[in-house]
Amino acid sequence: NIGFTPSGDILLGGGGGSGNTGVKNKLALFKLKIPEKTIEKLTETILSGEEDRPTCIAFHNEENIFSCGINSSEEKIIIGENNNCRIFKYSNEKYVMSYFFQNKKMTAFSQDGKLLATGGTDSKLTVLNYPSLRVAFPPVNFNKQEIYDLDFDPTGNQARYELLNDQIIIIHYIIIISVNTLKILSTKKGECFHEIEKPVFRKSSRCQFRACRFGKGISARFFYTVVNMTSESRTFIVKWDAVTFERISTKVIGKRRITAFTISDNGKFLGFGASDHSIGICDSQTLKVLLHVPKVHGFPPTTIAFSHDSTLFVSGSADNTVHILQLPENFNPGTVNIIFTFL
């Protein structure tokens, strides 16, 4: 998995998973030196070989902490002790694990860092106050469906306003998807403002939700969902109004399932990785594909990220490679610049 720290360094998490694969499970922090096209390793932590590789890295915007998913050993999972949501403190010298939770795979911090959302194979969304880690509202059940993705409203532009003791209270949203369900909840009480069951574009076509993101910057009024057809004949990105919840536009992105999805901090770009081992970038306003790079990895990309200044696009895969692309000011044919690839 890949994540950029608030200062712009890049954290990589990966490995061979549980068992004797010969590839160690690690968390490693790097400084990117773009002019020299090199990287400098700042620190590295080798994790237990009995546990799974790290996934779903999410950074706190103000403190040097991040959350990630690391499945416990098979023995602990069998007895119901899968402490797979971990919170780490970090510096350029070391990582220190400070908390863990059970049965959580997806994690995300709110923009102000006061909330931590977790979800996963237990089919429950849990939102915690940070740093107390007290439950903000009762867990929300997704009826035995694994939670695939979740995201906080980053700006408050989608927020609802309520009066409490003559004071205006801003209530932010969180969006969550499972294979067949999308919910948008209040972060105050967990109230469901909008829900979609079973994404359908044609009655004869079976579709599944795969990913979701709120817009940022110029796209702050919107949110986006990825919908894959189960037949793998098409995959879509759907743009929604985050205030009225109306569908604005739907765009066919390709014939292979999208396996990873993200949005740039300036809100201009939607990044994706696909099951044909390719990566691409769409315009967030028109959903037009601006860039498509085929066969970047030996396996489908599992993680992608934009740098905070939206000039770099990074992808990683189960083939244990990471690719870093420098984005052009204008997207024209042949403008892609792969800075470097490393293992």
Structural domain includes residue 339: yes
C-alpha dihedral sign at 303, 127, 217, 179:
positive
Structural domain includes residue 46: no
In sequence order, what are the residues at sequence separation of 6 or more whose Cβ sits closer than 8 angstroms to the Cβ of residue 269?
263, 281, 282, 283, 284, 290, 306, 310, 313, 327
Structural domain includes residue 286: yes
The C-alpha atoms of residue 207 and residue 227 are separated, in whole angstroms, by 6
Model confidence pLDDT, tens digit, residues 234-285: 899 999 999 889 999 999 999 999 999 999 999 999 999 999 999 999 999 9
Structural domain includes residue 71: no
C-alpha dihedral sign at 88, 50, 40, 105:
negative
Please state the rounded mean pLDDT for residues 202-230. Answer: 89
Instruction: Determine the Cα angle at 193 with ends 189 and 194, to 5°.
Output: 140
Structural domain includes residue 243: yes
> DSSP string spanning 275-338?
TTS-EEEEETTT--EEEEETT-SSS-EEEEEE-TTS-EEEEEETTS-EEEEEPPSS--TT--EE
Structural domain includes residue 94: no
Tokens representing 103? 């049965």
Q: What is the pLDDT of residue 307?
A: 96
Q: Taking the model in full, what pTM does it have? A: 0.91
Q: How confident is the model at residue 204 (pLDDT cuts 50, 70, 90)?
A: low
Structural domain includes residue 212: yes
We report the CATH number of the domain holding residue 233 as: 2.130.10.10
> Does residue 35 or residue 224 have the better pLDDT?
224
Question: Contact 150/181 with Cβ under 8 angstroms?
Answer: no
Look over the chain and give the mean of its residue pLDDT values, rounded to a whole number: 86
- Which residue's structure tokens are 């994706």? 272
Q: What is the pLDDT of residue 166?
A: 61
- Overall domain count for the chain: 1
Q: How confident is the model at residue 122 (pLDDT cuts 50, 70, 90)?
A: confident
Task: Give bridge partners of residue 4 from the DSSP assignment.
Answer: 10
Residue 165 scores a pLDDT above 80: no
Structural domain includes residue 337: yes
Tokens representing 262? 């993200």
Q: Which of 36-50, 177-191, 313-327 has the lowest mean pLDDT?
A: 36-50
Determine the 3-state secondary structure of 168 from DSSP.
strand
Model confidence pLDDT, tens digit, residues 306-333: 999 999 999 999 888 899 999 988 887 6
Model confidence pLDDT, tens digit, residues 63-81: 999 998 887 777 887 777 7
Domain residues for the domain of 273 are 199-343
Helices then strands, each counted (H, E), the chain: 1, 30
The rounded percent of the chain whose pLDDT value lies above 70 is 84
- Strands 247-254 and 235-241, how do they pair? antiparallel
Q: Which of 10-19, 170-179, 183-192, 200-209 has the lowest mean pLDDT?
A: 200-209
Q: How confident is the model at residue 97 (pLDDT cuts 50, 70, 90)?
A: low
